Structure formats: structure tokens, C-alpha cells
């Protein structure tokens, strides 16, 4: 198969501790909401491929879970394994940090980075630093700790410097044809994306009230023309957590469902009929069989 002259295509891992803006970065590069976001650690639990195709490049971004150092259970051990596995398979690594919050958690991820691959240090939220000179001491510190190929300040939320970031990443990708069609955005199906959008709303609307042991299981997904009928169970660990999700007169669950449905309709470009309910599965986050049935 002949390669289109000068075309590049390769995989790029986005890694970092929880809550540095990895998923926001992916969404702004893609120009749509594919990866879910919230301020809660462990929002991203799956390896998710985001495909960005331009005239001369196909970027295959792998959004990874934040490397977990708290809440040690079977779920988090699996998430950490995903991060370390991805690092061995990709062409380029983006190590995302925040300029104001550097600490042991960042350094633990730094210790996992492969020395034999190009690793770009992406300083997210750099717009919060004010004077660019404030970034220099930080960059010098990190430069001593790891041989970064490049250091690039960006603001994912404001889409600042993202074109420069892509131009840099492109130089490290192999010359080869595109692997996916130019209109493809992810390797995940709509069933998976629907579950993720619903889980995001739970994390966003309930904040710290609900612990990490919440999952979403799509029990039925049917499509009739442009209408999708989705039946989803929200799984909690304890009976006492059900009222928090349902709320007074079912108000909370209605809001979660309504906001998730709106996001699904945008992403799927069609009408969605969504039915949700809450189920209790005690200890699911430490049960290998339960994790497997939920896709972890």
C-alpha cells in the first residue's frame, strides 16, 4: 500500500495526575465533547481514543485515567494499569501539568514516563500565570528532572496555543496513511459514550455527596431512525446512596437525566429518549466480575 506523500499518522498519549485538564484538552482539540470532565478525580476511567484528522495528519489521541494514588481498590489498580500500558504503545506522550500545583502526584507520573519516546511537557492553564516569565523557573525545574522533547504552555479551556501544540506533535509522528476515516472521531460506540455522559452528570451535579463507587450500565440501547431509546441503570455501592441520587420527589435524578440527554442529542445529532433508575450492587468497585461486566 503506497503512503500518501508526507502524510503522518500516530498515537499520542495524554497523561498526568487527576484533574489537570487532560479530557478538556482532548475535547478542545477535537472541537466537540467526547471525553467527560468534572472536578472530581477518577472522572476518566477508560482509555478513550479521540481521532483528529487534518489535511496532512491523523492524530490518534489516547485520553487516559489520571494516575490514582488514593482509594486503592480493584477499579483503581485497573485504571493505573491502563496508564502504564498505554505509555508502552504510543508514538508520543503529552505529560500535562498545571502551573500552580506541582507536587508528589506529578512526580509519581513523571517516574512512569518512557525515556525512549518523545515526551512533551504541556503546561495547561498557563493563562492563569499572568506574566510568561513566571513559567521559566517551573520549566527549568522540570527540565532538570526529565529530558522533555519540548515544553509547551497552553490553555485547553481557552483553546490557546493548541495549533502550536499540534504542529509540534506532528513532527514526532511516523509517516504513514490514515488508519481511520476522516469523519471518524472515536473508536468507541454510542452505547459506551451514552454511559459516560450520564456518569459525568452524576459527578458534576452531586459533587462530593456521592463517593467514587458509582457506575452506569446501559441495559438497552435501541435506534429507530434518528431516535435512540436508552435504558440506563446507575449503580451505587450502598442502599443509603440511592436517595442522594434520586433527590426529593425524584428531582435530582430528573436533572441528571435531562442534562445527560441534551449532551447525547448534541453528540449523536438526533433525538434521545432516556430512562434511568438506581440499582445497588454492594462492593462492585472491588469485585473483579462486576468490574468486567461494567467494561472495566
Structure confidence at residue 289 (pLDDT) = 63
Give the model's pLDDT for residue 101.
58
Q: Low-confidence residues of the chain, pLDDT below 50?
A: 1-3, 38-45, 67-69, 71, 73-76, 78
For 171-183, the DSSP string reads TTS-B---SS-TT
Residue ranges with strand state E in the chain: 8-15, 48-53, 57-63, 92-97, 119-123, 150-153, 214-224, 227-236, 271-280
Q: What's the pLDDT score for residue 284?
A: 58
pLDDT at 18: 76
Residue pair 228/271 in contact by the 8 Å Cβ criterion: yes
DSSP three-state, residue 247: coil
The contacts of residue 176 (CB under 8 Å, 6+ apart) are: 3, 7, 8, 9, 10
Residue with cell 436533572: 255
Longest Cα–Cα distance in the chain: 62
Quote the pLDDT of residue 201: 86
pTM assigned to the model: 0.71
Predicted pLDDT at 84: 66
Question: What pLDDT is stored for residue 192 in this prediction?
Answer: 84
What cell numbers appear for 73 in the block? 481498590
Amino acid at each position: 500500500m503506497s503512503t500518501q506523500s508526507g502524510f503522518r499518522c500516530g498515537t499520542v498519549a495524554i497523561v498526568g495526575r487527576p484533574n489537570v485538564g487532560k479530557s478538556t484538552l482532548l475535547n478542545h482539540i477535537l472541537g466537540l465533547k467526547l471525553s467527560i470532565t468534572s472536578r472530581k478525580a477518577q472522572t476518566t476511567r477508560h482509555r478513550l481514543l479521540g481521532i483528529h484528522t487534518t489535511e496532512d495528519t491523523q492524530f490518534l489521541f489516547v485520553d487516559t485515567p489520571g494516575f490514582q494514588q488514593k482509594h486503592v481498590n480493584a477499579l483503581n489498580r485497573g485504571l493505573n494499569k491502563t496508564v502504564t500500558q498505554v505509555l508502552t504503545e504510543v508514538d508520543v506522550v503529552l505529560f500535562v501539568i498545571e502551573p500552580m500545583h506541582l507536587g508528589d502526584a506529578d512526580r509519581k507520573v513523571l517516574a512512569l514516563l518512557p525515556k525512549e519516546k518523545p515526551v512533551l511537557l504541556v503546561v495547561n492553564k498557563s493563562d492563569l500565570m499572568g506574566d510568561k516569565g513566571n513559567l521559566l523557573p517551573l520549566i527549568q525545574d522540570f527540565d532538570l528532572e526529565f529530558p522533555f522533547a519540548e515544553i509547551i504552555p497552553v490553555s485547553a479551556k481557552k483553546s490557546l496555543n493548541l495549533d502550536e501544540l499540534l504542529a509540534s506533535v506532528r513532527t514526532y509522528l511516523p509517516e504513514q496513511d490514515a488508519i481511520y476515516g476522516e469523519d471518524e472521531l472515536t473508536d468507541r460506540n454510542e452505547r459506551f459514550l451514552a454511559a459516560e455522559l450520564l456518569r459525568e452528570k452524576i459527578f458534576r451535579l452531586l459533587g462530593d455527596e456521592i463517593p467514587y463507587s458509582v457506575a452506569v450500565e446501559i441495559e438497552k440501547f435501541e435506534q429507530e431512525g434518528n431516535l435512540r431509546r436508552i435504558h440506563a441503570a446507575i449503580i451505587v455501592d450502598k442502599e443509603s446512596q440511592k436517595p442522594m441520587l434520586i433527590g426529593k420527589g425524584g428531582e435530582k435524578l430528573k436533572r441528571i437525566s435531562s442534562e445527560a440527554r441534551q449532551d447525547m442529542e448534541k453528540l449523536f445529532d438526533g433525538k434521545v429518549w432516556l430512562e434511568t433508575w438506581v440499582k445497588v450492587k454492594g462492593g462492585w468497585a472491588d469485585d473483579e466480575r462486576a468490574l468486567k461486566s461494567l467494561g472495566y
